[in-house]
Amino acid sequence: MIKPNQSTAPLLEVRALSVDYGLKGVSFRAIEDMSFALRAGEAVALVGESGSGKTTTAMSIAGLLPPNARVSSGEVRYRGRRLPIDDDAAMRPHRWSEISVVFQGAMNALNPVHRVVKQIAEPCMLKLGMTREKANGLARELLELVGIPADRGSAFPHELSGGMRQRVMIAMALACRPPIIIGDEPTTALDVITQAQILTLLGKLRSQLNLALILITHDLSVVAETCDRAMIMYAGRIVEEGTVADIFSEPKHPYTKLLIESIPNPATGKKILRPIPGDPPTILNRPSGCAFRSRCSFAMHVCTTDDPRLDPTGRGQVACHLHRSLTQEQKVAAHA
């Protein structure tokens, strides 16, 4: 596995990005103040429950936000250049050549009436100006690269298994050789064994092509083998960020701890993913103070009034009053 070269400049920088959705004339914040960097060959996980803003983050970076969304502040830079993420037409030269997205549910994304080789060849012709013959050749090579025999390219999507279809989606995402792939829950609709195979494939492609990967998932257990760093999202914010090793061995945010405890663990006899009690707030009802407080057994008075911001923790960052450097008087006041 290629390790990120920390000395190189970031390929991608997300800086203080906030995105709102308009609903019946009112704006609601879906992601707030997201900042992170991604280097060549690095794999970063974006983890959080449903509604935490993972897809909104991915769609913002790829310039694929729906019409009722608005980038209210911040920016995304690719190799130092600001991307026109709020302009679909201006983003076209960047999408698929610089940043590709692999979505979940390949069956919906693939055209049922076209053979898969044609669907991979099409963007090669459009984006790379290839002749049909050359594009078909590249499509076959890409199929082999993702572990599908080239002659299966003549199949229609319904003739392939779910795992094969997801491999086709990955081949399409790789067609214009982007250095960054965003996988938005790319394995969610698959059975456990196929899920593992797709994650292994992404890891292999990452080393072979020095790809940078943003892997979006609600399941922290898929992160350990695949990623270098993890960002834990809750209610539209990053609440903890660090290396995967640190996050697993020394989680700091109470939410991260619960996410880790929710993972099945054969060593302790825990066989199923145990959901975290309570529900996260939606963008319509974000509470004052810490958005996690109604589910947090460590909540203090200060958590109802003050919204904790991300603070450095040494090698990572966390947004929780338990980890803020409060004075003794502040600590007493916090518990009052």
Interaction partner, residue 50 (Mg ion, ligand ATP, ligand SF4, none; CB < 5-8 Å by kind): ligand ATP
Please choose, out of 165-173, 194-202, 205-213, 299-307, the segment that lies near ligand SF4 by the rule CB under 6 A: 299-307
By the rule CB under 6 A, 51 interacts with ligand ATP: yes
Residues of this chain, 303-332, that bind ligand SF4 according to CB under 6 A: 303, 308, 320-322
317 binds, among Mg ion, ligand SF4, ligand ATP, none (CB under 5 to 8 A by kind): none
Q: How far is the CB of 58 from Mg ion (least distance, A)?
A: 8
Shortest distance in whole angstroms from residue 235 CB to Mg ion: 14
Number of residues binding to ligand SF4, judged by CB under 6 A: 14
Give residue 246's identity as a one-letter amino acid code: D
Contacts 24+ apart (CB under 8 A), 200-207: 201/146, 201/147, 201/167, 201/170, 202/170, 202/226, 203/1, 203/43, 205/145, 205/146, 205/170, 205/174, 206/1, 206/2, 206/41, 206/43, 207/1, 207/2, 207/41
Residue of 282, 298, 305, 315 interacting with ligand SF4 (CB under 6 A): 298
Residue 163 binds to ligand ATP (criterion: CB under 6 A): no
Q: Which amino acid is at 158?
A: H
Cα atoms in the 13 Å half-sphere on the side-chain side of 99: 27
Q: Which of 99, 236, 290, 316 binds ligand SF4 (CB under 6 A)?
A: 290
Interaction mask 244-263, ligand SF4, x per CB under 6 A: ---------xx---------
- Nearest residue to Mg ion, using CB? 55
Site for ligand ATP (CB under 6 A): which residue of 39, 54, 95, 167?
54
Q: Choose the binding region for ligand SF4 from 102-110, 222-230, 241-249, 287-295 (rule: CB under 6 A).
A: 287-295
Site for ligand ATP in 88-147 (CB under 6 A): none
Q: Which residues bind ligand SF4 (CB under 6 A)?
A: 253-254, 290, 292-293, 296, 298-300, 303, 308, 320-322
Q: Which residues bind ligand ATP (CB under 6 A)?
A: 21, 23, 30, 48, 50-56, 66, 68, 218, 282-283
